[in-house]
Structures are given as C-alpha cells and as structure tokens.
C-alpha cells in the first residue's frame, strides 16, 4: 500500500479546497504563507486529511485560522506524526482514539457538530 492511497481527498481536490475554502477567506496579506502552511498541515494528516481541511476551513471562516493551524501542527508533531497513515482511522488503537477526540474537540470549539 502506498502512502498516497491513504489520503481521503485527492491531491488535486485538496489544492482546490485549500484555495477556495481556506485561503480565499483570509486577509490578502497572509494568503500566500497560509496556503503553504495549510497544504503542509493537510498533507501531514494523511488518513485524516478531510478533517484537517474541514477544521482549517471553518477556522478561516471564523477568523481563527492561525489558532487552529497551530493546534493541528502541535497535535501532528506530538501525537499523530508517528502513527502509520494506514491505521489513522482505527479508533480502537489508543493513540488514534486520542486523535479522534482531539479532532472532535476542534470542531466543538469552532461551534460545529460533525456527523460521524
């Protein structure tokens, strides 16, 4: 299994979504750096990229992009970065369950009630 097969959203669609739903909602002066940052974050969340895209889009819409970009970066570095992308959706694994709760907490802080 290749790592690319673990993404939930194709590379082309990730790029289009970042442009349309995240970067377009940010102030002009930070769009270029935010686009690069969002792409790096989402690409790090292999297997949970749809959640990372969604959280960043809601955060950008609410003027909280930097805050949630930092949260996602920190969680990736401290908890999720060492989990094999192929198992990132298996909540039965303790550290994956921790990541699931983290992502749900992000949605909650943004006022979103995700349907699972």
pLDDT tens profile 20-72: 999 999 999 999 999 999 999 999 998 899 999 999 999 999 999 999 999 99
* Coarse DSSP helix, strand, coil percentages of the chain, rounded to the nearest 5 percent: 70, 0, 30
* Cα three-residue angle 86-91-4, rounded to 5 degrees: 20
pLDDT of residue 20: 98
For residue 82, pLDDT over 90 is answered with no
The total number of structural domains in the chain stands at: 1
Residue 77 lies in a domain: yes
Range of the domain at 13: 3-109
Mean pLDDT of 86-112: 82
Residue 59 lies in a domain: yes
Residue 116 lies in a domain: no
Q: 109 or 87: which carries more pLDDT confidence? A: 109
- Residue 58 belongs to what H/E stretch? helix 49-61
d(C-alpha 51, C-alpha 57), whole Å: 10
């Amino acid at each position: 299994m290749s790592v690319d097969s673990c993404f939930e959203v194709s590379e082309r669609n990730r790029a289009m979504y970042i442009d349309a739903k995240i970067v377009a909602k940010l102030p002009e002066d930070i769009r270029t750096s935010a686009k690069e940052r969002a792409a790096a974050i989402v690409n790090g969340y292999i297997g949970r990229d749809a959640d990372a895209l969604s959280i960043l889009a809601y955060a950008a819409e609410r003027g909280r992009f930097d805050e949630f970009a930092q949260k996602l970066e920190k969680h990736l570095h401290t908890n999720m970065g060492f989990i094999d992308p192929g198992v990132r959706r298996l909540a039965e694994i303790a550290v994956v369950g921790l990541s699931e709760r983290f992502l749900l907490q992000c949605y909650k802080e943004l006022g979103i009630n995700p349907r699972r």
